[in-house]
């Protein structure tokens, strides 16, 4: 390896966070205090993770750290290969977003980690699997700005357990530009994503979604929320979503055979009835069960909704 890859340069430094732990149903269970860094030294990358779990309930025995984690990374600008001893697998970067799938012998789970880097902030989540079944989820926000760490961890303590709930009485729209990448990891331009919301009642909302630019798509769907779960009931898409705290993970199917898997994270959601105004999104679009595109970006709320 002659030098650090673009992704390695993007994530240099020590990141501090207090991600929350949720069980498979979406119930909050505790916090994980973590300091982590990916260090490039003399052509070698080593990933370090140090911290511990506070709380955890019935998951505590599985996810408390007995020692700091460390593992080697082979990183030549394509997939990042995790070579153990504490994690084995690979991560694929798409610009400022990485989709990683790997196994942790200490936790005895498969992990699917999505990490979206926005400047000095990382929007992080790890879905934890026993075979095909989700057994839990870690998610939260990280910073590498030393001046923000104390306040950051305090805010994550307050905001981590907040459930993902979109506005239930006010029509409006989340909108913003997302970067698009092909399955070859090469950039393909930008897409303007608009998610217009028209609440029907406290548990049902009509979503009108429009993509314009490098990808052109639009659909309307009625979404019904049931606790931490949501159900997408046509007419333009069908599927469901599971929320873990401020992050919701939708799975949508369309009549043309395409499928969307995503994560929508309320970056500024706080306790109380108000929804957040900043939504970090990452979506993977599949055509005929083959990955066709990856897009990610930040959407901001506007109280106006032209299509509502």
Are the C-beta atoms of 113 and 100 separated by less than 8 Å?
yes
Q: In which element (H, E) is residue 25 found?
A: none
First to last CA, the chain: 53
Q: What is the DSSP letter of 276?
A: P
Q: Which distant-in-sequence residues (6+ apart) come within 8 Å of 243 by Cβ?
A: 26, 163, 164, 228, 229, 230, 249
The span from the CA of 261 to the CA of 296, in Å, is: 12
At residue 107, φ and ψ (nearest 5 deg) are -90, -15
**Mean pLDDT for the chain?**
93
Q: How confident is the model at residue 12 (pLDDT cuts 50, 70, 90)?
A: confident
Q: How confident is the model at residue 270 (pLDDT cuts 50, 70, 90)?
A: very high
pLDDT reading at 153 higher than 60: yes
pLDDT reading at 2 higher than 70: no
What was the pLDDT predicted at 56?
A: 95
193: helix, coil or strand? strand
Domain ranges of the chain: 6-159, 172-302
The span from the CA of 247 to the CA of 258, in Å, is: 23
| Residues making up the chain, counted from first to last | 308
pTM: 0.95
What was the pLDDT predicted at 5?
A: 83
pLDDT reading at 307 higher than 60: no
What was the pLDDT predicted at 1?
A: 46
Pairing of strands 204-213, 109-118: unpaired
Q: Do domains 6-159 and 172-302 have the same CATH topology?
A: yes
What was the pLDDT predicted at 38?
A: 81
The span from the CA of 17 to the CA of 11, in Å, is: 14
Range with the poorest average pLDDT among 33-47, 244-258, 289-303 = 33-47
Average pLDDT over residues 289-297: 97
What was the pLDDT predicted at 308?
A: 55
User: Using one digit for the tens of pLDDT, what is the confidence trace for 81-114?
Assistant: 999 899 999 999 999 999 999 999 999 999 999 9
User: Using one digit for the tens of pLDDT, what is the confidence trace for 225-259?
Assistant: 999 999 999 999 999 999 999 999 999 999 999 99
Q: Look at the block and give the residue holding tokens 């993770």.
A: 49
Are the C-beta atoms of 155 and 267 separated by less than 8 Å?
no
Range with the poorest average pLDDT among 38-52, 82-96, 198-212, 216-230 = 38-52
User: Using one digit for the tens of pLDDT, what is the confidence trace for 177-197?
Assistant: 999 999 999 999 999 999 999
The span from the CA of 90 to the CA of 66, in Å, is: 24
Domain 172-302 of CATH type 2.40.128.20: yes
What was the pLDDT predicted at 306?
A: 62
What was the pLDDT predicted at 253?
A: 98
CATH no. of 6-159: 2.40.128.20
């Amino acid at each position: 390896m002659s030098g650090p890859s673009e992704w390695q340069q993007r994530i240099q430094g020590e990141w501090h966070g207090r991600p929350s732990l949720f069980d498979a149903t979406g119930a909050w269970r505790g916090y994980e205090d973590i300091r982590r860094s990916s260090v490039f030294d003399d052509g070698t990358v080593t990933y370090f993770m140090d911290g511990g779990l506070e709380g955890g309930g019935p998951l505590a025995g599985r996810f408390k750290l007995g020692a700091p984690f460390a593992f080697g990374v082979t990183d030549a600008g394509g997939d990042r290969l995790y070579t153990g001893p504490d994690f084995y697998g690979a991560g694929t970067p798409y610009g400022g977003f990485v989709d990683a799938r790997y196994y942790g012998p200490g936790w005895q789970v498969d992990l699917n980690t999505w990490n979206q880097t926005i400047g000095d902030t990382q929007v992080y989540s790890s879905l934890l699997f026993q075979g095909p079944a989700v057994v839990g989820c870690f998610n939260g926000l990280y910073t590498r700005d030393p001046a923000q760490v104390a306040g950051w961890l305090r805010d994550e303590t307050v905001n981590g357990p907040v459930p993902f709930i979109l506005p239930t009485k006010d029509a409006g729209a989340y909108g913003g530009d997302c970067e698009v990448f092909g399955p070859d990891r090469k950039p393909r331009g930008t897409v303007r994503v608009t998610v217009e919301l028209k609440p029907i009642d406290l548990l049902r909302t009509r979503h009108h979604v429009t993509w314009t630019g490098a990808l052109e798509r639009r659909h309307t769907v009625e979404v019904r929320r049931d606790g931490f779960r949501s159900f997408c009931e046509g007419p333009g898409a069908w599927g469901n979503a599971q929320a873990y705290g401020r992050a919701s993970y939708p799975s949508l199917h369309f009549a043309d055979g395409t499928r969307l898997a995503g994560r929508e994270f309320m970056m500024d959601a706080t306790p109380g009835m108000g929804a957040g105004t900043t939504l970090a999104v990452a979506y993977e679009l599949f055509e005929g069960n083959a990955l066709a595109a990856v897009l990610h970006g930040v959407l901001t709320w506007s109280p106006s909704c032209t299509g509502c």
